[in-house]
Structure 1
Amino acid sequence: MAFSKDGHWVWDFWLADDGERYHLYYLHAPTSLGDPQLRHRNARIGHAISGDLVEWEDLGEVLSAGDAGDIDSSATWTGSVVRGDDGLWRMFYTGSRFLSPSEITNVETIGVAVSDDLHTWRKDPRLQLQADPAWYEILPDGTWHEEAWRDPWVFRDSAGEGWHMLVTARARGARSRRDTDRGVVGHARSADLLHWTVQPPLSSPGGGFAHLEVPQTVRLGGRDLLLFSCDAAHLAGDRVGAAGGVWLADAESATGPFDLTGAYLLTPESLYAGRIVEDRSGTPRLIAFENGGTDGGFLGRITDPLDIATDGAEPRAVLYVQERNPA
């Protein structure tokens, strides 16, 4: 059964695994808002648990927006959860601050909340990580409607030398708002999960994406890949007019560089913000939120785990990793 919440839209999500149960953290906003687009200004983080990624027990809201002037004064957006060497769980999330009730101008900052048990979370105000204008577009540049710095995906360095964070970001250097092909994978590093240093992006602009949302590094079929989402409305360059959805891009390693020019679709845009998680058998499964129904309306619920075939077969009842045609 797909995960849904009565009276609410549910969309972006991330998961943590304590070895016995999966913990689902999800964005939600009340359908009483009327317009699904208003959900972004009113997003809060909820929590559900499951033993099998199918049957979920909803535990309600765990992280809310902050006070006026806080990095999350408007909404709490997408993130990820890891466990540090000190045994504490940390939820890195996006703080959203809309500057006007009538415009989409928005500043995004990465914050963190800490938990002993994955149930009760307390924000740690010491982390307020922002885009570094040395490499990334910021709102005063006037070339985009938001300061894009969101969807932190945190993972341990393979050599045990600290932690990496991937971020939805835009490269600096656009000449105007029509120069949309600036989406990149932002990057930051930390030795202790508290003190972070922003690094140059792990991809180059010009890959055909105005943004690369909810990035995740994965390994499928013996190769490193970048999983991300981009809708048709935010495709750029030579991709304008093509279909959007959940994408895959080849990578030299979990920390890139990522080949965005060769990125290819994994799912259509009816599914979005996909995450790959291993089930209890160790099999990678795809979970996404249902972005639209047959009537064109926003559904706002999360799928059951979906199979992924990596043999290049034509899609049947399962989703698949599409093999690229030889050059």
Structure 2
Amino acid sequence: MSFNRADHWVWDFWLADDGELYHLFYLHAPKSLGNPDLRHRNARIGHATSNDLRTWTDHGLAFDAGTPGSFDGSATWTGSVVSDSGLWHMFYTGSRFLSPNSAANIETILLATSEDLFTWTKQPGPICVADPALYETLGTSSWPEEAWRDPWVFKDTTQDTWHMLVTARSKHGTEPDRGVMAHATSTNLRDWTVQSALSEPGSGFAHLEVFQIVAVDERQHVIFCCDSAKLVGPRAGQVGGVWSQPLDAFLGPVDFSKARRLVDETLYAGRIAFDRTGAPVLLAFNNVTTDGVFIGGISDPIPVSTGPDGYLTVEPAQ
């Protein structure tokens, strides 16, 4: 595997490219916890760099969680990094578990900034929270958390507008088939307006995690993840993993019933990156063995291409 830490579990990640180095920001938690299921309550963001997406230099903790009871008082979760006016902005998920013995968890979007991708300053938050008029919040259904995480931020240069895609759940629809792609907009990366979801519930995903919008072969695609346990409704009983689908319109409504699995859930939280030749590759974390035991660590790049039907495909391992 491309990146791992002997003393920590490593899983979700996101990338920034400064033109010379790829910067990997990854979730990690100490193996001294004993049970890998406890990693989510103890996640922190680490930082590593590479010039080839294969050999990484680890730089340790990017920044720590907040004080107990704060928006990121339990853990810091998945995000994304963008650059604007010479300043790097990391949007990340703050996680606040309400009790040591409960799965009840409130997720919010927070912001840290940096001039060099190494030293980060947290900004007052939260930056963006779930709007209860549009999205499910904690206690309004049987779902154990207030899902509002994994911000993917990018700019529409034609309208000078920033967009944020968020893992969330609709307040409407048949439970548990309420996973949607939430949407927020901003003109300055600080003030965000929560918009209606860009998808409808009922597509077979109880949640759609770690979104990415990426252009491959001059066509936009959406990448996301859903594991087997969260496939519901028309997809119940299928195998989860990393999913994708080509988009018919930039930020138009997305019908996730058309999504197709790119790789199964032995890999998870996949991201498309581009090597120094410009070729698209998939990186993902090593999820579980065939017996369901968590592994962790980031994979080597896997070549990606576009199939005859317009969907992304991965090249078989050599």
* TM-score bin (small chain): over 0.9
Q: Which residue of 2 aligns with 1:183?
A: 179
Question: Which is further off, 208-217 or 295-304?
Answer: 295-304
Question: Residue 230 of structure 1 aligns to which amino acid in structure 2?
Answer: C
In structure 2, the residue corresponding to 1:238 is in which secondary structure?
helix
Q: How far apart in 2 are the matches of 1:256 and 1:285?
A: 25
Question: Residue 40 of structure 1 aligns to which amino acid in structure 2?
Answer: H
Q: Which residue of 2 aligns with 1:241?
A: 237
RMSD between aligned residues? 1.7
Q: 1:91 to 1:73 in 2, by over 3 A?
A: same
Question: Residue 68 of structure 1 aligns to which amino acid in structure 2?
Answer: P
Q: How far apart in 1 are the matches of 2:171 and 2:244?
A: 24
| 1:250–1:258 contact (8 Å) kept in structure 2 | no
Q: How far apart in 2 are the matches of 1:127 and 1:193?
A: 12
Q: How far apart in 2 are the matches of 1:163 and 1:193?
A: 7
Question: Residue 173 of structure 1 aligns to which amino acid in structure 2?
Answer: H
In structure 2, the residue corresponding to 1:233 is in which secondary structure?
helix
Q: How far apart in 1 are the matches of 2:225 and 2:273?
A: 16
Deviation at 1:317, TM superposition (A): 2.0
Q: Which residue of 2 aligns with 1:90?
A: 89
The alignment status of 1:33 with 2:44, answered yes or no, reads: no
Q: 1:315 to 1:220 in 2, by over 3 A?
A: closer
Q: Which residue of 2 aligns with 1:227?
A: 223
Q: How far apart in 2 are the matches of 1:8 and 1:312?
A: 41
Q: Which residue of 2 aligns with 1:8?
A: 8
Deviation at 1:128, TM superposition (A): 3.3
Deviation at 1:219, TM superposition (A): 2.0
| 2:108–2:126 contact (8 Å) kept in structure 1 | no
The alignment status of 1:204 with 2:206, answered yes or no, reads: no
- TM-score, normalising length from structure 1? 0.92
Q: How far apart in 2 are the matches of 1:123 and 1:298?
A: 31
| 1:2–1:303 contact (8 Å) kept in structure 2 | yes
Question: Residue 92 of structure 1 aligns to which amino acid in structure 2?
Answer: F
| 2:304–2:315 contact (8 Å) kept in structure 1 | no
Q: Which of the residues 261, 279, 283 maps onto 1:283?
A: 279
In structure 1, the residue corresponding to 2:108 is in which secondary structure?
strand
Q: Which residue of 1 aligns with 2:52?
A: 52
The alignment status of 1:99 with 2:98, answered yes or no, reads: yes
| 2:173–2:202 contact (8 Å) kept in structure 1 | no
Q: How far apart in 1 are the matches of 2:132 and 2:209?
A: 20
Q: 1:58 to 1:254 in 2, by over 3 A?
A: farther
Question: Which is further off, 161-170 or 293-302?
Answer: 293-302
Q: 1:53 to 1:316 in 2, by over 3 A?
A: closer
Q: Which residue of 1 aligns with 2:246?
A: 250
Deviation at 1:158, TM superposition (A): 3.6
| 2:176–2:206 contact (8 Å) kept in structure 1 | yes
In structure 2, the residue corresponding to 1:140 is in which secondary structure?
coil
Q: Which residue of 1 aligns with 2:81?
A: 81
Q: How far apart in 2 are the matches of 1:295 and 1:31?
A: 19
Q: How far apart in 1 are the matches of 2:148 and 2:271?
A: 19
Deviation at 1:118, TM superposition (A): 0.2
Q: Which residue of 1 aligns with 2:296?
A: 300
Question: Which is further off, 231-240 or 125-134?
Answer: 125-134
Q: Which residue of 2 aligns with 1:61?
A: 61
Uncovered stretches (5+) of structure 1, i.e. residues with no partner:
320-327
| 1:127–1:194 contact (8 Å) kept in structure 2 | no
Q: How far apart in 1 are the matches of 2:126 and 2:191?
A: 7
